[in-house]
Structure 1
Amino acid sequence: MADELKRRLVHASGSGLVALYLLANYLEVGLTWQYFRVLMVVLAVGAIGLEFLRLRVGLEWWLYDKLTREYEQDQFAGYGYYMLSMTIVVVVFQPAIALPAMLMLALGDPISGAVSDDSLRRVKSPKVLATMFVVSGAIAAPFLANPAAIVAAALGATVADGITVRIGDFIVDDNLTIPIYAAVLAWLALEFVPV
């Protein structure tokens, strides 16, 4: 249980990236969206590099034992998908879409995990789905003025978090899908749903 709490806290710490961008933008210290994109690419490449060292070279840090799950011991770990998906939405979308999508992963996922029974089900319980939807909607509201985009982003995050996608023996990590689904659906709503 203690390790799970640590994982959730580390997960939530990703919201610091959003806070960094917003604070720098507010203080006008020069962290433009383009520079933030570069920062995210550097962080994602760093995460992929660490995973390469862990899986191919055998780098073993005590931190890996604490923050990776048992099934991640011999495969690409969730934190790598986390950084990759956040980077994808930052590179592809503008701040109003990308930032809430990042927060849905950083904050929504651990909150929904806290109300989950941690069983691996194809579809999570209605309580978990409702929690993820409400939290994601609340996260999206300050960024997206369009109600349809708020609902679409929350729905995307909820589907990504709540429905397990399996391709053969591989289970697609929701750390990869939450920001992407949320951002894509928000963008579609902004582009095609009249206000």
Structure 2
Amino acid sequence: MADELKRRLVHASGSGLVVLYLLAQSLELGLSWPLFRILLVVLATGAVGLEILRLHFGLEWWLYDKLTREYEQDQFAGYGWYMVSMALVVVVFGPHIALPAMLMLSLGDPISGALSADSLQRVKDGRTLAGMFVLCVVLATPFLRDYPLAVVAAALGATVADGVTVRRGDFVLDDNLTIPIYAGVAAWIAIQIGPI
């Protein structure tokens, strides 16, 4: 249980990247969106590099024992998918879509996990789905307030990504990869439809 709490706290710490960008904007510190994109790509590349070293060259740190789950021992770990998905949404979308998508992963996913009794069930229970959806609406609203349909679409995308487990044999599609991507794509589509 203690390791699970540590994983959730580390997961939530990713919201610090969003705070960093917003703080830099408000204080005019020169962290432009293109520079933020570069930062996220560098961080994601570092995470992928660490995973290659861990999986193929036997790199073992005590941190891996604490922050990875047992089923991740022989496959690409969730933190790697986490950084890759954050970098993808930052590269593909502007801040009004990417930042809430990042928050849906960094804050929504660990809170949803705390609400859910079994994170690997095929479809999470209604209470967990509703909790994730409402939280994601709250997270998206400040960024997408001019596009209420996009708020709902992004929240729905993140909720589906978090709440429905996609499995093929032993492979489970990690929601650390899908939450920001589903949320970002859904918000983008809704914005193309218009401010409904």
Same topology, TM > 0.5: yes
CA displacement at 1:194 relative to structure 2? 4.4
CA displacement at 1:167 relative to structure 2? 2.7
Separation in structure 2 between the aligned mates of residue 120 and residue 54 of structure 1, nearest angstrom? 24
- TM-score of the superposition, structure 1-length normalised? 0.98
2:125: which partner in 1?
125
CA displacement at 1:152 relative to structure 2? 0.2
* Partner amino acid, structure 1, of 2:55: L
Separation in structure 1 between the aligned mates of residue 148 and residue 40 of structure 2, nearest angstrom? 28
Q: Deviations over 1:58-108 (max 9, x none)?
A: 010000000000000010000000000000000000000000000000000
1:5: which partner in 2?
5
CA displacement at 1:156 relative to structure 2? 0.2
1:19: which partner in 2?
19
CA displacement at 1:120 relative to structure 2? 2.0
Decide whether aligned partners of structure 1 residues 119 and 194 sit closer, same or farther in structure 2, where only a CA change above 3 A counts.
Answer: closer
Give unpaired runs (5+ residues) of structure 2.
none
Query: Structure 1 residue runs of 4+, over 3 Å off?
Result: none
2:140: which partner in 1?
140
Separation in structure 2 between the aligned mates of residue 76 and residue 85 of structure 1, nearest angstrom? 13
Separation in structure 1 between the aligned mates of residue 62 and residue 195 of structure 2, nearest angstrom? 52
Q: Deviations over 1:19-59 (max 9, x none)?
A: 00000011111100000000000000000000011111101
- Equivalent residues in 2 for 1:80-159 (5 A)? 80-145=80-145, 146-159=147-160
Give unpaired runs (5+ residues) of structure 1.
none
- Equivalent residues in 2 for 1:65-84 (5 A)? 65-84=65-84
Separation in structure 1 between the aligned mates of residue 37 and residue 119 of structure 2, nearest angstrom? 35
- Length, aligned pairs only: 195
1:49: which partner in 2?
49
* Partner amino acid, structure 1, of 2:7: R
Q: Deviations over 1:173-195 (max 9, x none)?
A: 00000000000000000001443
CA displacement at 1:128 relative to structure 2? 0.7
* Partner amino acid, structure 1, of 2:56: R
1:176: which partner in 2?
177
Whether the 8 Å contact between 2:137 and 2:155 is mirrored in structure 1 is: yes
CA displacement at 1:166 relative to structure 2? 1.4
Q: Deviations over 1:147-176 (max 9, x none)?
A: 100000000000000000113331100000
Whether the 8 Å contact between 2:157 and 2:182 is mirrored in structure 1 is: yes
Separation in structure 2 between the aligned mates of residue 121 and residue 92 of structure 1, nearest angstrom? 31
Separation in structure 1 between the aligned mates of residue 150 and residue 20 of structure 2, nearest angstrom? 24
Deviates more, 1:161-170 or 1:93-102: 161-170
Query: For the aligned residues, what is the CA RMSD?
Result: 0.8
- Matched-pair identity in %: 74
2:164: which partner in 1?
163
